[in-house]
């Protein structure tokens, strides 16, 4: 089993991963909107 130190490290890694996914999804959506806008002109 993981001791308390490993558990905290894993929680920090997972928290960073979910934050990266959140901002990455938002960035991809914005880039997609820009591309659609450029194509439609």
- Kindly report the pTM of this predicted structure: 0.68
Q: What is the pLDDT of residue 20?
A: 97
Q: What is the pLDDT of residue 6?
A: 81
CB contact at 8 A, 10 and 2: yes
Unique residue bearing structure tokens 């996914």: 21
Q: What is the pLDDT of residue 16?
A: 95
Q: Which two tokens stand for residue 6?
A: 């490993």
User: Whole-angstrom Cα distance, residue 18 to residue 24?
Assistant: 10
Q: What is the pLDDT of residue 1?
A: 53
Q: What is the pLDDT of residue 9?
A: 84
Q: What is the pLDDT of residues 1-41, one digit of tens each?
A: 556 668 888 899 999 999 999 999 999 999 999 999 999 99
């Amino acid at each position: 089993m993981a001791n308390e130190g490993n558990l905290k490290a894993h929680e920090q890694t997972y928290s960073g991963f979910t934050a990266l996914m959140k901002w990455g999804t938002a960035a991809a959506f914005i880039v997609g909107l820009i591309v659609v806008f450029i194509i439609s002109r």
